[in-house]
Amino acid sequence: MNMNTSEKINVNKGRWTKKEHSMFLRGYGIHGRNWMEVSKFIPTRTTEQIRSHAQKFFNKINKSKCKLGMYYHFILLDVIDYI
């Protein structure tokens, strides 16, 4: 079932929780930049919020100039922590 912005209930605003970010990473790991599919992992955020979060997250990665392998390690730790 696809839920657009107007169908989501209890949408959070403001800072993302650690749990929401972990769900984002998990959804991104499976579906890549298909934000509609990633949004199914995060019922508390709209697709627009997820897209915006992703943009800020990837900008932060690029600014910190971390190597992909090092950041991949952090993503795995977040996913493992979620499971």
Confidence of residue 78 (pLDDT cuts 50, 70, 90): low
Residue 1 has pLDDT above 50, yes or no: no
pLDDT tens, 36-48? 999 999 999 999 9
The rounded distance, in Å, linking the Cα atoms of 66 and 63 is: 8
Give the Cα separation of 48 and 46 in Å (integer).
5
Tell me, yes or no, whether 71 lies in a domain.
yes
Residue 10 covered by a domain: no
12 assigned to some structural domain: no
> Rounded to two decimals, what is the model's pTM?
0.67
Taking the C-alpha atoms of residue 7 and residue 48, their distance in angstroms, rounded to an integer, is 13
**Residue 43: which domain range?**
18-82
For the chain, where are the E strands, in sequence order?
none
Q: Is residue 4 part of a domain?
A: no
Over the stretch 10-55, which tens digit does the pLDDT of each residue have? Answer: 888 999 999 999 999 999 999 999 999 999 999 999 999 999 999 9
Domain assignment present for residue 56? The answer is yes
